[in-house]
Amino acid sequence: MNILLLGGTGQLGRECLLRAGPDLRIVAPTRQELDLAAPGGIEAFVAAQDADVIVNAAAYTAVDKAEAERDLAHVLNAEVPGRLAAAAAAKGIPLVHVSTDYVFDGRKGAPYRPDDPVAPLGAYGASKEAGERAVRAAGARAVILRTAWVYGPFGGNFLATMLRVGAERDVLKVVDDQRGTPTTAADLAAACLAIAARLVDEPSEPGGTFHFTNAGETTWCGFARAIFEIAGPRLPKVPQVLAITTAEYPTPAKRPADSRLDCAATLARFPVIQPDWRAALAATLDRLLQRTNDA
């Protein structure tokens, strides 16, 4: 299978590239080769590729900054996916596009199903929601895969922030009234590649909108506490994690209070595996701390 991957330097993109091999060739253009902020060249670029499927892991992911950079967020998160989907349709190849739990307002009080109404609270979520609509409108055979709270051993994410700040401070205050599921970029990459393979192997698979996270749920505070519980013995210093409310941690962008995603339809339809979030965290910390100790 030949995959054209957008966003190969990001958290998800890097984990996809680690899974490349003789049977899984992945071409990932650099920003120099394809600047997605100037997306006019996308259709011609895609047309020239020898790809069986496109995986879009590129995005504008700075949630707070997006409030002040709405135009750039819209280009990356809405216009680019629309153009990729149109190019995929023109070429007759499928697309896996990744979206977010932040398309929901978090007021449902139960895990969101793929067809629940969307109502983003901030500019990032709104741009991603527009991207979902653009992909659907382009008429490609596409899976829109919503995920949440993505982290891993590479790149900027909540885990990296907690380890960095935890090394500097004795007390961390973390919101305990936003519920969701941390998801490793590694497990998400495996799911994206499994879905891409199914789309390629089964031309009758129509695609649609699906959810994938690790299993279980917590809050950002619960996530932070788990990080220090699991990694603590291997860290020079462990901070105290204090639970606070969202009101006590003002941010430019509003975030959903409960964005748990119901992944049942994805597990029923595609050969994906959904490790428990704590086990996935432990595996990620093993990789990350191993790398740090070796360096």
Which residues are part of the catalytic machinery? 124
Of the candidates 26, 53, 58, 84, which one interacts with ligand NDP according to CB under 6 A? 58
By the rule CB under 6 A, 33 interacts with ligand NDP: no
Closest CA to 147 of 115, 208, 102, 207: 102
Whether residue 211 contacts residue 145, with contact meaning beta carbons closer than 8 Å, is answered with yes
Q: Which one-letter DSSP state was computed for residue 117?
A: P
Q: What is the tally of helices (H) and strands (E) in the chain? A: 10, 12
Q: How many residues bind ligand NDP (CB under 6 A)?
A: 25
> Which residue number has the CB closest to ligand TDO?
100
Per rule CB under 6 A, is residue 73 in the interface with ligand NDP? Answer: no
H helix or E strand, kind and range, residue 81: helix 80-91
Q: Which of residues 129-158 bind ligand NDP (CB under 6 A)?
A: 147-150, 155
Supply the minimum distance, in Å, between the C-beta of residue 240 and ligand NDP: 25
Closest approach of Cβ 233 to ligand NDP, in Å?
27
Task: State the Cα–Cα distance between residues 107 and 257, nearest whole angstrom.
Answer: 7
Q: Which of 78, 184, 194, 219 is nearest to 143 (CA)?
A: 194
Report helix, strand or coil for 54: strand
**Binding string, 222-261, against ligand TDO, x = CB under 6 A?**
---------------------------x-x---x------
Task: Report the nearest approach of ligand NDP to the CB of residue 55 (Å).
Answer: 10
Cα separation, 207 vs 144, whole angstroms: 8
**211 lies in the binding site for ligand TDO (CB under 6 A):** no
Residue nearest to ligand NDP (CB): 10
Question: If 0-12 CB within 10 Å is exposed, 13-18 middle and 19+ buried, where does residue 30 land?
Answer: exposed
Q: Considering the rule CB under 6 A, would residue 9 count as an interface residue with ligand NDP?
A: yes
The interface region with Mg ion, picked from 41-49, 60-68, 171-179, 282-290 by CB under 5 A, is 60-68
CA distance 78 to 96: 14
Interaction site with Mg ion (CB under 5 A):
63
Q: Which residues bind ligand NDP (CB under 6 A)?
A: 7-13, 31, 35-37, 57-59, 61, 76, 98, 100, 128, 147-150, 155, 185
